[in-house]
Amino acid sequence: MTGIRKSFGPVPVLKNVDFAVNAGEIHALLGANGAGKSTLIKILGGQYGDAEGTIALDGRPITLDSTHSSLRAGIGIVHQEVDLVPVLSVAENIYLGREQIGMAERPPLLSRVRRRAVSGAARDLLRQYHLGLDPDDIVSALPASAKQIAQIARVLALQSDVMVFDEPTARLGKRDREALFTTFRLLQSAGKKIIFVTHYLDEVIQIADRASVMRDGQMVATVQASETSPAELSRLMVGADVVKPRRSRSGIATTPCLEVRDLADGTSFSGVNFDIGAGEIVGLVGHLGSGRHELTRCLVGSRTFSGRADLVHPQPAKPLRRRDIGFVPEDRRAEGIFPDLSIGTNIYVGQMQSRPLRSLVRHRSVGRVADRLIAALQIKTSHHSQPIAELSGGNQQKAVFGRAIVSQPPIFIVESPTVGVDVKAGAELHAQLFALASRGAAILLATDDLDEVLTVCDRVLVMFRGKIVDDLPAETMTHHRLVGAMGAS
| E strand residue ranges, 158-304 | 162-166, 193-197, 210-215, 218-224, 256-264, 272-277, 281-285
Delimit the domains of the chain by residue range: 2-238, 256-486
Give me the pLDDT at residue 101, please. 54
Kindly report each contact of residues 173-177 with a partner whose C-beta sits within 8 Å and lies 24 or more positions away, as own/partner.
173/145, 173/287, 173/288, 173/448, 173/486, 174/448, 174/450, 174/483, 175/132, 175/287, 176/131, 176/132, 176/145, 176/149, 176/288, 177/203
- Backbone phi and psi for residue 411, each to the nearest 5 degrees, phi listed first: -130, 140
Helix spans in 86-131 (H)? 90-94, 115-128
What fold, for 2-238?
A: Rossmann fold (3.40.50)
Whole-angstrom Cα distance, residue 248 to residue 302?
34
3-state SS, residue 254: coil
Output the CA angle 73-75-79, nearest 5 degrees: 145
- Backbone phi and psi for residue 95, each to the nearest 5 degrees, phi listed first: -110, 25
Give DSSP secondary structure letters for 41-57: HHHHTTS-TT-EEEEEE
Give me the pLDDT at residue 360, please. 66
* Per-residue pLDDT in tens (0 to 9) along the chain, 489 residues: 999 999 887 778 899 999 999 999 999 999 887 788 989 999 999 999 999 999 999 999 999 999 999 999 999 999 877 789 999 999 999 988 776 554 444 455 444 557 788 899 999 999 998 888 999 999 988 887 889 899 999 999 999 999 999 988 877 877 888 889 999 999 999 999 999 998 888 999 999 999 999 998 999 999 999 999 988 998 898 777 666 677 766 555 568 999 999 999 999 999 999 999 999 999 999 877 789 999 999 999 999 999 999 999 888 889 999 889 999 998 887 888 999 999 999 999 888 766 655 666 677 888 999 999 999 998 988 899 999 988 888 889 999 999 999 999 999 999 989 887 877 888 889 999 999 999 999 999 999 888 889 889 999 999 998 999 999 998 888 877 887 888 755
Contacts of 370 (CB under 8 A, 6+ apart): 343, 344, 347, 348, 384, 402
SS (H, E, C) 397-409: HHHHHHHHHCCCC
Contact criterion met (CB below 8 Å) for 317 and 478: no
Give me the pLDDT at residue 252, please. 59
CATH number 3.40.50.300 given to 256-486 = yes
| E strand residue ranges, 192-255 | 193-197, 210-215, 218-224
Give me the pLDDT at residue 381, please. 87
* Element (DSSP H or E) covering residue 459: strand 459-464
2-238 and 256-486 in the same fold: yes
Q: How many CB atoms lie within 10 A of CB 228?
A: 19
Nearest Cα to Cα of residue 29 among 220, 242, 158 = 220
* Dihedral angle computed from the Cα positions of residues 308, 311, 317 and 319, in that order, rounded to the nearest 10 degrees: -40
Contacts of 393 (CB under 8 A, 6+ apart): 33, 38, 80, 81, 167, 332, 420, 421
For 123: left if phi > 0, alpha if psi spans -120 to 50, otherwise beta; the answer is alpha
Whole-angstrom Cα distance, residue 262 to residue 271?
4
Whole-angstrom Cα distance, residue 199 to residue 203?
9
Kindly report each contact of residues 20-23 with a partner whose C-beta sits within 8 Å and lies 24 or more positions away, as own/partner.
21/162, 21/193, 21/194, 21/195, 22/193, 22/209, 23/58, 23/191, 23/192, 23/193
Give me the pLDDT at residue 167, please. 86
Give me the pLDDT at residue 103, please. 41
Give me the pLDDT at residue 112, please. 55
Contact criterion met (CB below 8 Å) for 193 and 25: yes
Contact criterion met (CB below 8 Å) for 444 and 455: no
